[in-house]
Amino acid sequence: MADKKANVVIIGSGPAGYTAAIYAARANLEPVLISGPQPGGQLTITSDVENFPGFPQGIMGPEMMNLFREQAERFGTRFVDGLVTSVDLGRKPFLVEVDEGREAWNANALIIATGASARWLGIPGEKEYWGRGVSACATCDGFFFKNQEVVVVGGGDSAMEEATFLTKFASRVTVIHRREELRASKIMQEKAKNNPKISFILNSVVSRVVGNEQGVTGVVVKNLHTGEEAEIRCDGFFVAIGHDPNTAIVKGQLPLDEAGYIKVHPGTTKTDIPGVFACGDAMDPIYRQAITAAGTGCMAALDAERYLEHWVDER
């Protein structure tokens, strides 16, 4: 099968990818968006989204992503449902293979919007109550736990940030960590430990999440020294053990930071390879919000448009 040609290929279909597609399509760049394993990204498994501008009553995550897709489609974006299994950035145009060579695209410009995935514990009840009390984003979901009790799992800076943020809403935050000492920086530990709403259970792990039809009602905690288990009542369960950027396909071809996020030039979405751009959670280890991902998707499309104008002039 002959390789197909595209002016711009966008890998990923969350807020960053869809926004890049909207801007690229409106610029008549005729983008091709390859959706990936989870069309719509992490928001498709998010219930209420109440912090995205323009939706004063909130909106369900899947519905929002459908609207993003419809808007990109309206302006002429072509969608390919499949998983990008390899890219070759050492040639021009760039080669993008889908589903182990089921089809391949030659792209004059490439926008990587593959996102990041939250790390999970893999314990019983975690998936069952996802979106019904189980979350990996305090900024996204903390508002729903006003005057309620929540549990945060983790011992690093992310866990301390999540716990501290949740005290704005929750009546009590319990941090559970498997070791005797927290891994967080000293300043983050002190901030959390000095907050009267936060308490700690150390040398312990959460073995399962329990709940009912309404959602989470508690977690079962196991003491790693004694082996004893006890159920702790809570209304929310936040997993804060980090995220993994979905950047394996460009490892060894693009510079990545220590955590695997794509490095971009300051103030842009440009990578070290001209014509390759990165946006959204694949390059953002800090904010990881739908609105910031969409913003960098816009930037990537504008950067790609300017690159292609220059590239055409150079030909």
Give the model confidence (pLDDT) of 12-24 as tens digits.
999 999 999 999 9
Does residue 257 carry a catalytic annotation?
Answer: no
pLDDT band at 312 (very low <50, low <70, confident <90, very high): low
Task: Look at residue 243 in the predicted model and tell me its pLDDT.
Answer: 85
The CATH T-level fold of domain 4-117+243-314 is: FAD/NAD(P)-binding domain (3.50.50)
Give the whole-angstrom CA distance, residue 262 versus residue 255: 6
- How many other CB atoms are found less than 10 A from the CB of residue 39? 20
Q: Per this entry, what is the length of the chain?
A: 315
Contact 233, 254 (CB under 8 A): no
Give the whole-angstrom CA distance, residue 68 versus residue 98: 23
pLDDT band at 274 (very low <50, low <70, confident <90, very high): very high
Instruction: Answer with the residue of higher pLDDT: 46 or 77.
Output: 77
Query: Boundaries of CATH 3.50.50.60 in the chain?
Result: 4-117+243-314, 120-239
Does residue 137 carry a catalytic annotation?
Answer: yes
Q: Is the pLDDT score of 315 beyond 60? A: no
Q: What is the mean pLDDT of residues 95-116?
A: 93
pTM: 0.79
Task: Look at residue 161 in the predicted model and tell me its pLDDT.
Answer: 87
Q: What is the mean pLDDT of residues 145-162?
A: 94
Does residue 279 carry a catalytic annotation?
Answer: no
What are the residues whose beta carbons fall under 8 Å from the beta carbon of 162, sequence distance 6 or more?
A: 138, 152, 154, 238, 240
Q: b/e per residue, 4-18, with b = 16+ CB within 10 A?
A: bebbbbbbbbbbbbb
Give me the catalytic one of 48, 81, 140, 157.
140
Residues 90-93: contacts with CB under 8 Å, at least 24 apart: 90/253, 92/275, 93/5
Give me the catalytic one of 81, 137, 272, 284.
137
- The top-level CATH class assigned to 120-239 is alpha beta
Give the whole-angstrom CA distance, residue 26 versus residue 16: 16
